[in-house]
Structure 1
């Protein structure tokens, strides 16, 4: 029910319950990404996510941010140059900046990553948090 509220349709057999986002990052890094794979992420990014990716032998490439979140201009070139396998983002109340990516920027990001065939790992730990 909770996933459906956010627009995600998934069968119960497709859901894996984790102890937290870091466990998910670790499982994805070790189980789905080849050793040495390139991951794009916001710069700055959540410190412990960086450690999780690095411990799995993943190469990280920082992408610039502005007051609207991850800057999508030039994403295609950056993804190609790094031969990126994944983009990791925290669009809602980004850690450590607190930035909330607006709807237009989110749409741009999804259009560009879809065109590239680049999977997006969204860290939604704070998406229901409003202060």
Structure 2
């Protein structure tokens, strides 16, 4: 039983809104795509690769605009890209049972929620502006 009638028409619109909101703050929205697809009852064999592909598309567009507007340096981002993209697809190709997939999804979303709401001072700051401040002596 589907929770949303005609989800094949509604889901792309919801994905567009999710992609717009997430990309406006520099994210891809992968966890939201995954949750939405599970809610509407899509096969757990399709969800990881579809979510990964959507996330990669939105993140690529956001990264391109980020770098084009000189908000970052490719030399800092490149090591993450080189390691993240192949391992994300490797993870997306794993075949898990539906129960295992849903438990892994639940646990990862709980960890993210705990990180967001309870672990506030775990960030770091990079100074990408290399202008030297002049001192008046």
In the superposition, the TM-score normalised over structure 2's length comes to 0.29
Greater helix content:
2
Larger radius of gyration: 2
